[in-house]
């Protein structure tokens, strides 16, 4: 979802959904060598990373209200489960506007409580399937209480300094990557790709695989 428009055309979304059928195999795609400036961008100034020096970091940038992030989540989740041992994955909820921050805080509270595996997909489902509005602190608090998280505990964490810091750092990271839309992938603080940059969501994961290999070779 583009930062300025916060929407793609229906044709773009359909192309993303069927992209896998039209794409060459991963080996064929990588053999062609993806190009900087076309399939991905190389950052002029490296973005900060949190992974140890021996690890390659992948950051998934997302926004819960984004329909393309919702479509991408199952693809990304399946891909992330097969990452090599030298690759570290983390998610970063974006805030292109101040009213995105409640959902940033929601994600980081779930992370702090160890509830991402259980509830991350349920947030997407609540918004995009059940059509529940989860954009304000009050709406979010009411929803998480129904998921078994005590309201007082959630509210305390939601308003805590640590969650505020994580939300601020996520926004700083999206700016460091010069993010213009979501879903998007940051690779090791040096590369950026997305469904828009790579032409389809499925292909962005192939580009990410290629960039992980590039990062590994540079570190060798």
The tens digit of pLDDT for each residue in 44-61 reads 999 999 999 999 999 999
Task: Taking residues 89-108, report their average pLDDT.
Answer: 98
Kindly state whether residue 24 falls inside one of the protein's structural domains.
no
Number of domains in the chain: 1
Q: Which residues are 40's β-sheet partners?
A: 36
CATH number, domain containing residue 173: 3.40.30.10
Kindly state whether residue 83 falls inside one of the protein's structural domains.
yes
| pLDDT value of position 8 | 38
- Sign of the alpha-carbon torsion through 35, 38, 42, 48: negative
**Residue 74 belongs to domain spanning:** 10-19+41-219
Task: Looking at 81-136, list the stretches that DSSP marks H as alpha helix, in order from N- to C-terminal side.
Answer: 101-112, 116-128
| pLDDT value of position 137 | 98
Where residue 3 falls among pLDDT bands split at 50, 70, 90? low
| pLDDT value of position 219 | 76
- Its pTM stands at 0.86
What is the SS3 assignment for 89? strand
Kindly state whether residue 90 falls inside one of the protein's structural domains.
yes
Residue 204, pLDDT > 50, answer yes
Kindly state whether residue 35 falls inside one of the protein's structural domains.
no
Kindly state whether residue 4 falls inside one of the protein's structural domains.
no
Percent of the chain at pLDDT > 70 equals 85
Kindly state whether residue 25 falls inside one of the protein's structural domains.
no
Kindly state whether residue 146 falls inside one of the protein's structural domains.
yes
């Amino acid at each position: 979802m583009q930062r300025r428009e916060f929407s793609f055309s229906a044709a773009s979304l359909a192309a993303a959904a069927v992209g896998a059928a039209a794409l060459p195999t991963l080996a064929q795609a990588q053999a062609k060598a993806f190009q900087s400036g076309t399939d991905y961008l190389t950052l002029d100034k490296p973005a900060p990373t949190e992974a140890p020096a021996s690890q390659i970091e992948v950051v998934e940038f997302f926004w819960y209200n984004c329909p393309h992030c919702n479509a991408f989540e199952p693809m990304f989740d399946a891909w992330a489960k097969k990452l090599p041992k030298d690759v570290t994955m983390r998610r970063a909820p974006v805030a292109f506007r101040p009213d995105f921050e409640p959902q940033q805080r929601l994600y980081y509270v779930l992370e702090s409580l160890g509830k991402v595996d259980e509830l991350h997909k349920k947030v997407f489902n609540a918004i995009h399937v059940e059509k529940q509005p989860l954009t304000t602190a009050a709406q979010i608090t009411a929803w998480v209480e129904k998921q078994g998280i005590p309201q007082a505990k959630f509210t305390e964490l939601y308003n805590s300094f640590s969650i505020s810091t994580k939300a601020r750092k996520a926004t700083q990271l999206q700016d460091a990557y010069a993010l213009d839309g979501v879903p998007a992938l940051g690779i090791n603080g040096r590369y950026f790709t997305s469904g828009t940059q790579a032409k389809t969501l499925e292909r962005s994961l192939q580009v990410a695989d290629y960039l992980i290999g590039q990062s590994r070779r540079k570190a060798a």
